[in-house]
């Protein structure tokens, strides 16, 4: 037992010496920077190309998540998108889209109705397949810079795929607001 009696005080002495390490140097707090001023960056802006990296942030509903061909996407029954505008003055709604021959054979002439924040901007009848550009001024009273602007497009006769019943409206290349 004498070795245990010697071991305990020796162990206590080693622990006491080990605990006697110098305190770390003190350091001043890091340099304080003021935060950047201005609005927070937004996930969506006023215009969108379908091949933009953040394009899906603009989608509310009924737009394919898969990018096709050279940068277009299929739209389904009632595609809807969101945009954030920096100004409401002299804004035009613009859309580049296609009515493919394969779907047009079943639907025939199609009328697309363009809605901005729930208000009908225009209803346009397209009597043949092809790629189209639509552009029309939007009344400033319909728009806001304080919230998202919603755009919905309704095709009166969507194509219904025979294999799975999917309702396709048109192909979408780019859309949004320009001033």
Please state, as a whole number, how many other Cβ atoms lie within 10 Å of the Cβ of residue 53. 7
pLDDT level of residue 82 (50, 70, 90 thresholds): very high
pLDDT level of residue 103 (50, 70, 90 thresholds): very high
Ordered domains of the chain (ranges, CATH): 59-178 (2.60.120.260)
**The model's pTM:** 0.77
Give dist(CA 175, CA 152) in Å, integer.
Answer: 11
- Window from 16-25, 39-48, 79-88, 100-109 with minimum mean pLDDT: 16-25
What's the CA dihedral at 48, 51, 57, 61 to 10 degrees?
Answer: 90
In the predicted structure, residue 81 carries a pLDDT above the cut 90: yes
pLDDT level of residue 21 (50, 70, 90 thresholds): low
Question: What pLDDT shows up at residue 32?
Answer: 75
The percentage of the chain sitting over the pLDDT mark of 70, rounded to a whole number, equals: 82
């Amino acid at each position: 037992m004498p070795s245990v009696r010697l071991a305990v005080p020796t162990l206590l002495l080693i622990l006491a010496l080990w605990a006697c390490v110098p305190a770390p140097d003190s350091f001043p707090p890091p340099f304080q920077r003021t935060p950047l001023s201005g609005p927070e960056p937004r996930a969506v802006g006023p215009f969108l190309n379908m091949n933009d990296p953040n394009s899906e942030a603009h989608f509310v509903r009924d737009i394919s998540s898969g990018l096709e061909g050279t940068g277009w996407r299929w739209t389904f029954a009632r595609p809807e998108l969101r945009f954030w505008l920096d100004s409401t003055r002299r804004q035009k709604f613009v859309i580049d889209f296609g009515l493919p021959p394969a779907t047009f054979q079943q639907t025939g002439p199609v009328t697309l109705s363009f809605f901005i924040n729930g208000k009908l901007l225009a209803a346009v009848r397209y009597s043949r397949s092809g790629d189209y550009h639509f552009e029309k001024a939007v009344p400033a009273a319909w728009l806001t810079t304080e919230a998202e602007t919603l755009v919905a497009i309704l095709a009166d006769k969507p194509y219904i795929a025979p294999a799975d019943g999917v309702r396709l409206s048109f192909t979408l290349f780019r859309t949004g607001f320009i001033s």
